């Protein structure tokens, strides 16, 4: 069983950080909070430690991991070929929810990148994560700390649900601020390409470095291997209503009741007087959705409904990232189901 250690997210206890860093240095697995979601960390320079991440998550071996660095210098141990635009992005958005795909240095075990010549790197904006990486003195490879295909964890209890028997330590720093994963930007292409939309939007990137591509074509999706797999899904089947009136949503929910229970999450209040119906109402902003979607899906799933109906949002900016995750959770077949 993993040891769960509660920490003050602002000033984490140094002794606990040292204990977790020793586990990383010994080739073990430590789950830790970031500003986006919880990560499952191992020493990025240690091939057998990285292998353990794939085993613990049951993650397909062709899905590369993000390497987390504790400062700008550590990036030099991990990647090369940082362009002028790359430097601008790092200065403006690190630490923060922006992952850059760069040329991988050979010290980083190729298992991290699923054999790709590139590596995805970010510096998380979370004092526990930063203290852990700096204390371990090594970059930490960390995917989201969930069983592959399940909604990403935004609190330690989610990590415990999925992984407690498979990892060494869980650092509990409370609820993550943002709630969905970082933006992934491929800096090895011209112009740079967004492989996964996130909190740092296309508009924000464009303003700083000029045109960026949004990877949606088949060729671009192949560049982010994780996008091929099923992802973010609870056990129930997810039905996404991209747009619809309250009456329409209610009709959809009622229509699925006969299948064996329905959960609903959205900003429209939904009351249906039926024991097999449960609903979670959340705020209407992209921020509210990002914060509530993964824990909401997990909570509804505990009642084992056959179907979870999700009300979408329309708009640009951060709504794009939210809708990307919802579409992946909802899609029945096909490549876009998982990261
Ligand atoms: O916010 C986040 O990014 C969280 C926290 C823990 O940092 N991490 C996370 O990791 O979401 P993960 O493994 O769940 O997602 C990694 C994504 C996948 O879509 C993967 O395909 C992409 O990054 N990726 C990783 N390395 C890549 C590479 N070399 N080239 C292209 N895409 C890469
Ligand atoms: Mg993930």
**10-residue mean pLDDT series, the chain (339 residues):** 97 98 98 98 98 96 96 97 97 98 96 96 98 98 96 98 97 98 97 96 98 74 62 88 95 95 98 97 98 97 96 96 94 41
* Test site for ligand 1: of 133, 170, 339, most ligand atoms within 8 A of the Cβ: 339
Ligand 2 mean position to 339 CA, how many Å? 6
CA of 64 to the centre of ligand 1 (A): 7
pLDDT of residue 225: 65
Q: What is the pLDDT of residue 334?
A: 33
Other beta carbons within 10 angstroms of residue 206's beta carbon come to 12
Q: Could you tell which of 64, 94, 115, 153 is best to mutate to test the pocket of ligand 1, judged by most ligand atoms within 8 Å of the CB?
A: 64
Residue 326 beta carbon below 6 angstroms from any ligand 1 atom: no
Q: Evaluate: CB of 195 within 6 angstroms of ligand 1.
A: yes
**Distance in Å, CA 153 to ligand 2 centroid:** 9
82 contacts: CB under 8 Å, gap ≥ 6:
75, 90, 100, 102, 187
At 227 the pLDDT is: 61
Residue 218: the pLDDT is 58
Q: Are 251 and 283 in contact (CB under 8 A)?
A: no
* Closest ligand 1 atom, residue 339 Cα: 19
Closest ligand 1 atom to the C-alpha of 68? 7
CB 338 within 8 A of CB 229: yes
d(CA 49, CA 317): 37
Mutate to test the pocket of ligand 1, among 30, 184, 221 (most ligand atoms within 8 A of CB): 184
Distance in angstroms (rounded) separating the CA atoms of residues 264 and 278: 6
Q: How many CA atoms lie within 13 A of 197 on its CB side?
A: 23
Please name the residue ranges forming H helices in the chain: 14-25, 47-57, 72-78, 84-93, 127-136, 156-163, 202-209, 218-223, 246-256, 286-301, 318-330
CB 20, CB 30: distance < 8 Å:
yes
What does the pLDDT read at residue 1? 93
Helix (H, G, I), strand (E, B) or coil at 319: helix
Q: How far is the CA of 144 from the centre of ligand 2 (A)?
A: 4
pLDDT at 33: 98
Backbone angles phi, psi at 316, to 5 degrees: -115, -160
pLDDT confidence of residue 337: 35
Tell me what pLDDT residue 229 has: 59
Instruction: Give yes or no for residue 335 CB within 6 A of ligand 1.
Output: no
Q: For 97-110, b where at least 16 C-beta lie within 10 A, e where not — what string?
A: bbbbbbebeeebbe
Give bridge partners of residue 263 from the DSSP assignment: 278, 308
Give the number of the atom of ligand 1 that is nearest the alpha carbon of residue 226.
21
Q: What is the bridge-based pairing of β-strands 118-122 and 98-104?
A: antiparallel
CA distance 142 to 95: 16
The whole-number pLDDT of residue 332 equals 54
Asked if residues 59 and 80 have their Cβ atoms less than 8 Å apart, the reply is: no
What gap in Å lies between CA 161 and CA 229, rounded to an integer?
Answer: 22
Ligand nearest to C-alpha 99: 1
Q: Give the torsion sign (CA, 32, 34, 38, 40).
A: negative
């Amino acid at each position: 069983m993993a040891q769960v250690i509660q920490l003050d997210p602002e000033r984490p206890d140094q002794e606990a950080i040292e204990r977790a860093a020793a586990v990383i240095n010994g080739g073990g697995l430590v789950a830790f909070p970031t500003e986006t979601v919880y990560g499952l960390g191992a020493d990025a320079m240690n091939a057998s430690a990285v292998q353990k991440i794939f085993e613990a998550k049951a993650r397909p071996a062709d899905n590369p991991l993000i390497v987390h660095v504790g400062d700008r210098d550590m990036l030099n141990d991990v990647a090369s070929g940082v362009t002028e635009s790359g430097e601008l992005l790092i200065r403006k958005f690190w630490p923060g929810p922006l992952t850059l795909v760069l040329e991988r240095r050979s010290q980083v075990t190729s298992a991290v990148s699923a054999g790709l010549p590139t590596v995805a790197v970010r510096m998380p904006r979370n004092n526990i994560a930063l203290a852990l990486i700096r204390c371990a003195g090594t970059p930490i490879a960390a995917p989201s700390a969930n069983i592959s295909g399940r909604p990403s964890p935004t609190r330690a209890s989610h990590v415990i649900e999925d992984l407690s028997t498979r990892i060494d330590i869980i650092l509990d720093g409370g609820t993550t601020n943002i709630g969905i994963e970082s933006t992934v930007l491929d800096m090895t292409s011209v112009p740079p390409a967004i492989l996964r939309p996130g909190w740092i939007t296309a508009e924000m990137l464009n303003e700083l470095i000029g045109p960026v591509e949004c990877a949606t074509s088949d060729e671009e999706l192949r560049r982010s291997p994780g996008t091929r797999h099923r992802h973010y899904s609870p056990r129930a089947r997810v039905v996404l209503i991209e747009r619809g009136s309250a009456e329409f949503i209610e009709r959809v929910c009622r229509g699925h009741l006969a299948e064996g229970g329905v959960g609903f999450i959205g900003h429209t209040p939904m009351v249906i007087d039926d024991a097999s119906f449960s609903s979670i109402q959340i705020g209407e902003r992209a921020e509210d959705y990002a914060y509530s979607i993964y824990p909401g899906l997990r909570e509804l799933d505990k009642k084992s409904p056959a179907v979870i109906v999700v009300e979408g949002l329309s708009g640009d900016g951060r709504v794009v990232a939210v809708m990307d995750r919802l579409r992946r959770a909802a899609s029945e077949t096909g490549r876009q189901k998982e990261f």
